[in-house]
Amino acid sequence: MSGHSKWHNIQGRKNAQDAKRGKIFQKISRELYMAAKSGGPDPDSNPQLRLMMDKARSANMPKDNVKRAIDKASGADGANYEEITYEGYGPAGVAFLVHTLTDNRNRTASAVRADFSHNGGSLGESGSVSFMFDRKGYIAIAREDLDADEDQMFEDVIDAGADDLQTDDDVFEIYTDPKAFPEVRDALQQKYELDTAELTMVPKTRVEVPDEKMEKVQRLIDHLEDEEDVSEVYTSAEF
């Protein structure tokens, strides 16, 4: 695993994401809809829906919004969404994976392509970037006021079935196989308060972004995240 901290990248952008809470709820609603549509409305028998409900809870999404999204998936008049991933490069050679959930692929493709071309990037072919990322479960536990040292955390992480533990002054970061993620998360949740728990795409190698390119890379990320159909943006950038 890379020694760079995903946690610090998350914290560096948290305030900006908080300002977009309404759009975040809208995107999570679509993901809830998609999960319920494909696997059924019962989270006990639908692991993907259970993960999306956890994501909604972490974002402090109102329960009524969650229920509406799931109920909509059970109706005959719901929109038909499909998942499409776009790949490309941004300024400084940063790799981008853009996950979308859309009911109009032409609209989405046009918007994503424009964001890349207007912000110093280029949209690539399918497979041009995805090989640079691994699908992982990711859990972060803040060390502030935590009554556990590195040895204890390592023992608990291994017992839970995780693959890797990275430590920093202010956070423990745990990576898991995506299939093992729910079990690892549930085991650690019994002992610790989890600050982040999600399935994510982890770059195999991160790109150090020079100071003069930071604003351009961040602007491309912001434009993509502002798109109505974009659900997740993953990059290899190290800020």
The pLDDT of residue 17: 56
State the Cα–Cα distance between residues 201 and 60, nearest whole angstrom.
23
Same domain? For 114 and 216 the reply is yes
Q: How many residues does the chain have?
A: 239
Same domain? For 232 and 212 the reply is yes
Q: How many other β-carbons are positioned within 10 Å of the β-carbon of residue 138?
A: 21
The pLDDT of residue 170: 87
Quick: pLDDT tens for 180-212: 998 999 999 899 988 888 889 999 999 999 999
Same domain? For 189 and 228 the reply is no
Same domain? For 142 and 24 the reply is no
Same domain? For 21 and 121 the reply is no
Q: What is the mean pLDDT of residues 53-57?
A: 87
Average pLDDT, the chain: 87
List Cα–Cα distances, 146 to 49, 152, 164, 186, 192, in angstroms.
31, 11, 19, 18, 8
Q: Write out the H or E segment, with its range, that includes residue 83.
A: strand 82-89
Boundary of a domain, candidates 47, 74, 101 = 74
Is 90 exceeded by the pLDDT of residue 107? Answer: yes
Is 60 exceeded by the pLDDT of residue 8? Answer: yes
Same domain? For 95 and 68 the reply is no
- Greater model confidence, 163 or 79: 163
Range of the domain at 211: 83-131+205-238
Is residue 1 assigned to a domain?
no
State the Cα–Cα distance between residues 208 and 200, nearest whole angstrom.
20
The pLDDT of residue 236: 96
**228 falls in which pLDDT band (50, 70, 90)?**
confident
Domains in the chain: how many in total?
3
Q: What is the CATH number of the domain that holds 15?
A: 1.10.10.200
Q: What is the CATH number of the domain that holds 152?
A: 3.30.70.980
Same domain? For 63 and 30 the reply is yes
Is 90 exceeded by the pLDDT of residue 128? Answer: yes
Same domain? For 113 and 213 the reply is yes
Same domain? For 175 and 215 the reply is no
The pLDDT of residue 139: 92
Contact 99, 85 (CB under 8 A): yes
Boundary of a domain, candidates 55, 74, 93 = 74
Q: What is the mean pLDDT of residues 79-106?
A: 91
Nearest to 26 by CA among 62, 77, 51: 62
The pLDDT of residue 33: 86
**145 falls in which pLDDT band (50, 70, 90)?**
confident
Is residue 114 assigned to a domain?
yes
Same domain? For 59 and 92 the reply is no
State the Cα–Cα distance between residues 20 and 62, nearest whole angstrom.
15
Same domain? For 209 and 127 the reply is yes
List Cα–Cα distances, 192 to 6, 155, 221, in angstroms.
19, 13, 32
The pLDDT of residue 1: 47
The pLDDT of residue 89: 97
Same domain? For 39 and 22 the reply is yes
Nearest to 220 by CA among 103, 85, 134, 113: 113
Rank 35-49, 104-118, 140-154 by mean pLDDT and report only the highest.
104-118
